[in-house]
């Protein structure tokens, strides 16, 4: 008796069935009536606005963090999401490998600290709300200053330059007397606003107003980025990411649009830094380690580079995973001390089984599908 074996290209595995299921869900979403998608979107937004309320999250089972204030964790998660959305412009849309993105975050935070803190040598003591646009503008200028001499580089060389930029910011923060080193800046003012009884909206103990503020800004930033990516600018970014030489031959001013991507991403990072400084009330050099840049880049890749929803999911999951281990012990060992070990293992597994990320854009998913077929045929 003879046994027939299907050729490799016809062999269907569980992974193939899972991919087909995800594709079917995606197709149903894109072909669903417009009002259905709007209802689901509003429901998701309402869920995240309600999430930091104890009356709501106490019924969510294991989601709340037992070893940390859940509302504080959600604020941290929202900052990471905002940073991931900004870095996704640079890495995901324009295809520029940036290892020093957290340096722009530091520029935004230090701008707020220098112009508002009583411990600053400048002594301007400006209100937080007035300084935020200045922080965004200075961060954009720093992005243009970094990009102008370096964006003619590509790949690993550009990554090394951006890595050097982040280290320059960190070293300046540590050693500069003007930036106060580890002593830092204290008494940074909070965002304005107060209740009818005179209590401030943005106080020290309750992180919920800060989370709601960042969540609102994330929605506005996502709308702006989405409109930008569907414009001529976004199409230029995608053409540069796919083949910069071909884009240049077709008349796309690649340097100008790469500089635009750098400045746009830097502006979002500066906004996140300003929000962080206003919440923490204190900024010093220990807040801006190089590891944070690597984590944000990993979050974008983990969620799906080139997809706004993927960047949001990746930034949120990565920040939440790191904080989830706080306060958990196993055999007398504090798991939080090994959080980056677990994080690294998750990334390794992810890159092996789903290198395109959790929610990749359609073009990138198609590229990986074609490569899979080539590997199967080669076998």
- Contact call for residues 96 and 89 (beta carbons, < 8 A): no
Comparison of pLDDT for 45 and 330, the residue scoring more: 45
Comparison of pLDDT for 357 and 32, the residue scoring more: 357
Q: pLDDT (tens digit, 9 = 90+) per residue, 199-243?
A: 888 988 889 999 999 999 999 999 999 999 899 999 999 999 988
Q: pLDDT (tens digit, 9 = 90+) per residue, 8-37?
A: 444 455 555 555 555 555 666 566 788 888
β-pair partners for 282: 186
Give the distance, in angstroms, between the CA of residue 100 and the centroid of all CA atoms in the same chain: 13
Q: pLDDT (tens digit, 9 = 90+) per residue, 314-355?
A: 999 999 988 888 877 877 788 888 888 888 898 899 888 888
- 106 domain-assigned: yes
Write down the pTM of the prediction: 0.89
| Per-residue confidence (pLDDT) for residue 138, from 0 to 100 | 95
Q: Both tokens of residue 278? A: 């206003």
Residue 264 banded pLDDT, cuts 50, 70, 90: very high
Predicted confidence (pLDDT) at residue 181 exceeds the cutoff of 90: no
Predicted confidence (pLDDT) at residue 176 exceeds the cutoff of 70: yes
| SS3 assignment for the chain | CCCCCCCHHHCCCHHHHHHHHHHHHHHHHHHCCHHHHHHHHHHHHHHHHHCCCHHHHCCCCCCCCCCCCHHHHHHHHHHHHHHHHHHHHHHHHCCCCCCCCHHHHHHHHHHHHHHHCCCCCCCCCCCHHHHHHHHHHHHHHHHHHHHHHHCCCCHHHHHHHHHHHHHHHHHHHHHCCCCCCCCCEECCCCCCCECCCCCECCCCCCCHHHHHHHHHHHHHHHHHHHHHHCCHHHHHHHHHHHCHHHHHHCCCCHHHHHHHHHHHHHHHHHHHHHHHHHHHCEECHHHCCHHHHHHHHHHHHHHCCCCHHHHHHHHHHHHHHHHHCCCCEECCEEHHHHHHHHHHHHHHHHHHHCCCCCCCCHHHHHHHHHHHHHHHHHC
| Per-residue confidence (pLDDT) for residue 3, from 0 to 100 | 47
- For 14, what's the count of Cα atoms within 13 Å in the CB-facing half-sphere? 1
Predicted confidence (pLDDT) at residue 375 exceeds the cutoff of 80: no
- Contact call for residues 80 and 100 (beta carbons, < 8 A): no
Comparison of pLDDT for 224 and 367, the residue scoring more: 224
The arithmetic mean of pLDDT across residues 243-247, rounded, is: 89
Residue with tokens 């789903």: 354
Give the distance, in angstroms, between the CA of residue 47 and the centroid of all CA atoms in the same chain: 20
Predicted confidence (pLDDT) at residue 58 exceeds the cutoff of 90: no
The arithmetic mean of pLDDT across residues 171-197, rounded, is: 89
- 54 domain-assigned: no
- 171 domain-assigned: yes
The arithmetic mean of pLDDT across residues 90-118, rounded, is: 93
Residues 219-231 as b/e (b if ≥16 CB within 10 A, e otherwise) read eebbeebeebbee
- 247 domain-assigned: yes
Comparing 24-28, 90-94, 134-138, which segment has the lowest mean pLDDT?
24-28
Cα→Cα distances 311→89, 237, 256, 302, 335, Å: 10, 17, 24, 8, 26
Predicted confidence (pLDDT) at residue 364 exceeds the cutoff of 70: no
Residue with tokens 């919440």: 279
Q: Which of 366, 94, 89 is closest to 239 using CA atoms?
A: 94
| Per-residue confidence (pLDDT) for residue 9, from 0 to 100 | 46
Predicted confidence (pLDDT) at residue 106 exceeds the cutoff of 90: yes
Comparing 14-23, 90-99, 180-189, 226-235, which segment has the lowest mean pLDDT?
14-23
Domain housing 150: 67-289
| Per-residue confidence (pLDDT) for residue 27, from 0 to 100 | 62
229 Cβ neighbours under 8 A, 6+ residues apart: 93, 237, 238, 308
- 82 domain-assigned: yes
Question: Mean pLDDT for the chain?
Answer: 86
The arithmetic mean of pLDDT across residues 360-368, rounded, is: 66
Distance CA 229, CA 93 (A): 8
| Per-residue confidence (pLDDT) for residue 323, from 0 to 100 | 86
- 120 domain-assigned: yes
Comparison of pLDDT for 264 and 2, the residue scoring more: 264
The arithmetic mean of pLDDT across residues 132-151, rounded, is: 93
- 366 domain-assigned: no
Q: Which of 134, 299, 128, 110 is closest to 213 using CA atoms?
A: 128
Name the domain count of the chain.
1
Comparing 23-27, 136-140, 307-311, which segment has the lowest mean pLDDT?
23-27
Predicted confidence (pLDDT) at residue 190 exceeds the cutoff of 50: yes
207 Cβ neighbours under 8 A, 6+ residues apart: 52, 69, 71, 72, 74, 75, 279
- 243 domain-assigned: yes
Comparison of pLDDT for 11 and 308, the residue scoring more: 308
| Per-residue confidence (pLDDT) for residue 61, from 0 to 100 | 86
């Amino acid at each position: 008796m003879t046994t027939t074996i299907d050729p490799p290209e016809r062999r269907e595995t569980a992974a193939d069935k899972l991919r087909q299921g995800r594709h079917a869900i995606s197709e149903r979403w894109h072909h669903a009536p417009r009002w259905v998608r709007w209802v689901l979107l509003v429901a998701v937004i309402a869920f995240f606005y309600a999430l930091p309320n104890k009356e709501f999250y106490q019924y969510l089972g294991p989601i709340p963090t037992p070893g940390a204030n859940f509302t504080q964790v959600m604020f941290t998660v929202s900052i990471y999401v905002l940073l991931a959305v900004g870095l996704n412009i640079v890495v995901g849309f324009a295809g520029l490998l940036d290892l020093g993105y957290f340096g722009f975050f530091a520029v935004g935070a230090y701008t707020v600290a220098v112009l508002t803190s009583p411990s600053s040598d400048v002594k301007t003591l400006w209100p937080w709300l007035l300084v935020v646009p200045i922080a965004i503008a200075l961060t954009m200028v720093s992005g243009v200053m970094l990009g102008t001499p370096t964006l003619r580089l590509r790949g690993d060389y550009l990554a090394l330059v951006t890595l050097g930029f982040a280290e320059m910011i960190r070293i300046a923060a540590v050693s500069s007397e003007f930036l106060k080193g580890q002593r830092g800046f204290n008494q940074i003012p909070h965002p304005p606003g107060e209740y009818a009884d005179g209590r401030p909206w943005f106080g020290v103990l309750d992180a919920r107003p800060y989370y709601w503020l960042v969540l609102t800004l994330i929605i506005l930033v996502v709308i702006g980025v989405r409109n930008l990516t569907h414009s001529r600018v976004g199409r230029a970014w995608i053409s540069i990411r796919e083949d910069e030489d071909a884009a240049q031959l077709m008349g796309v001013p690649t340097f100008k649009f790469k500089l635009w991507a750098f400045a746009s991403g830097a502006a979002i990072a500066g906004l996140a830094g300003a929000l962080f400084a206003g919440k923490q009330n204190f900024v010093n050099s220990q807040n801006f380690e190089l590891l944070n840049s690597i984590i944000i880049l990993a979050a974008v890749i983990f969620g799906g580079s080139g997809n706004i929803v993927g960047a949001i999911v990746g930034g949120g999951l990565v920040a939440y995973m790191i904080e989830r281990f706080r306060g958990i012990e196993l055999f007398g060992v504090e798991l939080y001390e090994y959080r980056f070990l677990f994080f690294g293992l998750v990334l390794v597994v992810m890159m092996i089984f789903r290198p395109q990320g959790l929610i990749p854009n359609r073009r990138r998913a198609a590229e990986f599908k074609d490569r899979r077929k080539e590997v199967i045929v080669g076998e």
